[in-house]
Chains A and B, each alone.
Chain A
Amino acid sequence: MDAKRVAAIIALALLALVPPVAMAADAPFYVGLFARIMVFAIAAVSLDLILGYGGLVSFGHAAYLGIGAYAVGILSFHGVTGGFAHFATAFFAAAAAALVIGFVSLRTSGVYFIMITLAFSQMVYFLGVSLNQYGGDDGLNIARHSNFGAALDLKDPVVFYYFVFALLLVFLFLGSRIVRSRFGVLLQGVKSNERRMIALGFPTFRYKLAAFVMAGAVCGVAGALFANLTLFVSPSIMHWTRSGEILMMVILGGLGSLIGPVFGAAAYLILESVLSRLTEHWQAVLGPILILVVLFSKTGLYGLFAIGARRRG
């Protein structure tokens, strides 16, 4: 087993231990922080599928986070509290949005793709702002957590924590199968050399679109989790800077590794949490740290574990 794999397993084991340790240390704050980290990790892992494997630099991933969160918020507002209804709606609404956005955006590439995904996410953002019925700019309070019955009461922070953890594991596992499958190899081929893929006879558009929709749908689930975490949803969740943050988590953690973005989300949010307590200008400290990591490890934090390991492990 190589060093990267060991690091991944240790990291996930540590995540599993957070609630008992935090409770024993009488610091429940950390349960919330790490739940938040894992919610963003799911969003970042979903982005890594298209960015790290497909080479698609989507600068609008927060849109799906917002759609997932609003699905929970709006359904709750109308008295629908069922957990399955919430999460299925978040999943399919985000998938549908990704289908439309991807269908248009994927006709472009490079800088144009970045700009058009950004533009779409801003459209979704302003749609959120204009939803006066649902709080508009001020956002919408959510009365209750998604209801999965008494056995899975998301109101309990520890239960919620392990719910997020389980979903993260599921998505990591599915992702690790997908990226090694024919579909995943095809995506990596597109990233490496799309002209060659087309010349070989691969109709690349439909595969890129499928990956784009999968990533959007999973990010929608992260959005539904986010709504449950904060019991509040506002357009700020899908502001373009949020898309930038998710992008940053992926790059900071390590592109094209799936588990890397988990490290990235943890590093980003822990730094944010620590630095913002020290200074109000915490981003001025965060920026240089990000630059250093990217400069010294092209494969991100996770890549640091690969020293000595095979290049494409």
Chain B
Amino acid sequence: MAEPVLETSGLTKRFGGIVATGDVSLSVAPGEIHAVIGPNGAGKTTLISELSGELKPDAGSIRFAGADISRFGPVRRAALGIARAFQVTSIFREFTALENVALAVQARAGHSFRFWRPAEREAQLREPARAMLRDVGLGERADLPAGSLSHGEKRALELAMVLATGPRLLLLDEPTAGMGAEESAAMVRLLAGLKSRFSVVLVEHDMDAVFALADRITVMVYGRVIASGAPEAIRADPEVRRAYLGDEEPGC
């Protein structure tokens, strides 16, 4: 196997007495979609925050593209190409869809100490943004205020912004959260189209989406990794079935 893009070892984060992530070690190969699943409260979002740099782990290390980034903050990690889509859609509601993505393009276009030229007239920001919106199916919605888009469109918009930063690793926290079956299927198609162009850490509750997309799956329960492997192996793992996939033991 090729050198992993992302590798964590022993990531631990406690909130008071609660272990949000305990000794989490995982690796993501280039072009791989690595799904992280687990019941609510398993520490999946905490893990994403530790990877994005928003939360500082209490212990453990993170290597990205061969370098130790454990001590880097979120801005530096983003600059290296780690891009995050939040569980609760995080966009600029007052901006138009196009302005949202153009700002994401701007994040990768050098410093922003530019005071004179109107940004809305900068083709080098607008054109890639427009193309990205078309890619996620929002080409027609470009000039609408982002706050007026439907829930599914907002999720797609955030994905477009994340992609517009030119990332190497995507951290997607429940991209289909709150979506209906149709929107959800559209998002899965969108993500499937990205496959192999990016490495992805995908947190997801929708098992159809997970098994449709993931190359590898890590299962977390109460902050710990209980299993990690290929989708078929995970599906067959008795411990996983007991803990998560619906084979609940009575009385717990």
A interface with B by C-beta (< 8 Å):
177-178, 180-186, 188-189, 192-193, 195-196, 198-203, 207, 210, 311-312
Contacts and interface: CB of A to CB of B under 8 A. Distances in A.
B192 interface: no
Contacts of B115: 177-178, 181, 183-184
Interface string B122-137: 1001000000000000
Given A199-B74, A200-B161, A189 B103 contact: yes
Given A178-B115, A180-B118, A202-B112, 4 more contacts: A185-B99, A192-B94, A193-B91, A311-B145
Contact of A196 (B75, B79, B91): B91
Pick the most buried of A182, A183, A189, A199: most chain B CB atoms within 10 A of its CB: A199
A71 B208 CA distance: 69
Contacts of A203: 75
A181 B90 CA distance: 23
6 contacts: A177-B115, A180-B119, A184-B115, A185-B106, A189-B95, A201-B165
A30 B91 CA distance: 48
- Bin chain B's interface residue count: 35 or more
B63 interface: no
Contact of A181 (B92, B94, B102, B114): B114
Contacts of A196: 86, 90-92, 161
Contacts of A180: 118-120
A32 B108 CA distance: 50
Nearest to A201: B78
Contacts of B112: 182-183, 186, 202, 207
Nearest to A214: B115
A119 to B, nearest CB: 27
Contacts of B116: 177, 181
A182 B106 contact: yes
A210 B113 contact: yes
Contact of B165 (A178, A195, A200, A311): A200
Contacts of B189: none
A181 B52 CA distance: 28
Contacts of A198: 54, 74-75, 78
A162 B86 CA distance: 52
Contacts of B79: 201
B145 A189 contact: no
B104 interface: yes
B118 A181 contact: yes
B26 interface: no
B44 interface: no
Contact of A186 (B52, B75, B84, B106): B106
A199 B113 contact: no
Nearest to A207: B112
Contacts of B165: 200-201
A311 B99 CA distance: 15
Contacts of B118: 177, 180-181
A189 B103 CA distance: 8
Contacts of A199: 52, 54, 74, 78, 83-84, 86, 90
A181 B93 contact: no
Contacts of A210: 113
B107 interface: yes
A200 B107 contact: yes
Contacts of A311: 145
A72 to B, nearest CB: 27
B200 to A, nearest CB: 16
B103 to A, nearest CB: 5
A182 B107 contact: no
Contacts of B104: 200
A181 B117 contact: yes
Contacts of B114: 181-183
A227 B1 CA distance: 73
A310 to B, nearest CB: 10
Nearest to B109: A182
Given A177-B115, A181-B117, A181-B119, A200 B78 contact: yes
A17 B52 CA distance: 57
Contacts of A312: 94, 145
A84 to B, nearest CB: 23
A202 to B, nearest CB: 6
Given A192-B93, A192-B95, A201-B108, A185 B145 contact: no
B84 A192 contact: no
The 10 closest A-B pairs by CB, nearest first: A201-B78, A180-B118, A200-B107, A192-B92, A182-B114, A196-B90, A185-B119, A182-B112, A186-B112, A201-B107
